[in-house]
Amino acid sequence: MTEPSQDRVRTGIRDAFRRIAPEVDLESIDPSANLREEADLDSVDALNLIVLLDENLGVEIPESDYDQITTLADMRRYLTARIPGG
């Protein structure tokens, strides 16, 4: 079921951002722009984000894949493809 997976990924990302950068409005972020620059995330935020995505969605993103999730759209795509039960 593709639809629920996408929803779960969106919810999981939104929840993670609410906890590390609550003032960031994900809707207003250009999905094709560099996410760390757009959301002003430093390396600590980035690691916290990866940890929360793992907790929320059960997807462990290895460091070597970081370059595959540089934009919001990439991140959604990456997670949707790997979310368990998706």
Partner 1 sequence: MSKAYPMPSLGAGMEAGTVVEWHVQPGQRVSRGDVVGVVDTEKGAIEIEIWEDAEVAEIVAAPGSRVPVGEPLLLLKETESTADQVVEEVWDEPSPDTPPAEEPHRRLRVSPVARKRAKELNLELDTLHGSGPGGAITLSDVETAAQEMDREGLPPSGAPEPVAEQDESGPDSGVDRHAAMRRAIATAMTRSKREIPHYYLVHTFSLESTLHWLGQTNRDRSPSRRLLLAALYLKAVARAVKNFPEFNGFWEDEAFSRAEGVHPGMAISLRGGGLVAPAIHDADTRSLEALTEAVRDVVHRSRAGLLRGSEVADPTITVTSLGERGVDAVFGVIYPPQVAIVGIGSVAERPWAEGGMVGSRRVVTVTLAADHRASDGHRGALFLEHVAQRLQSPEDL
Among 6, 10, 15, 20, binds partner 1 (CB under 8 A): 20
Quick one: residue 25, left, alpha or beta (phi over 0 = left, psi -120 to 50 = alpha)?
beta
Contact 13, 79 (CB under 8 A): yes
21 DSSP assignment: -
Residue matched to tokens 């460091």: 63
**Interface with partner 1 by CB under 8 A: which range of 9-17, 27-35, 42-50, 72-80?**
42-50
Q: Any contact of residue 36 with partner 1 (CB under 8 A)?
A: yes
Contact footprint for partner 1 (CB under 8 A): 19-21, 23, 36, 40, 42-45, 47-48, 50-51, 53-54, 60-64
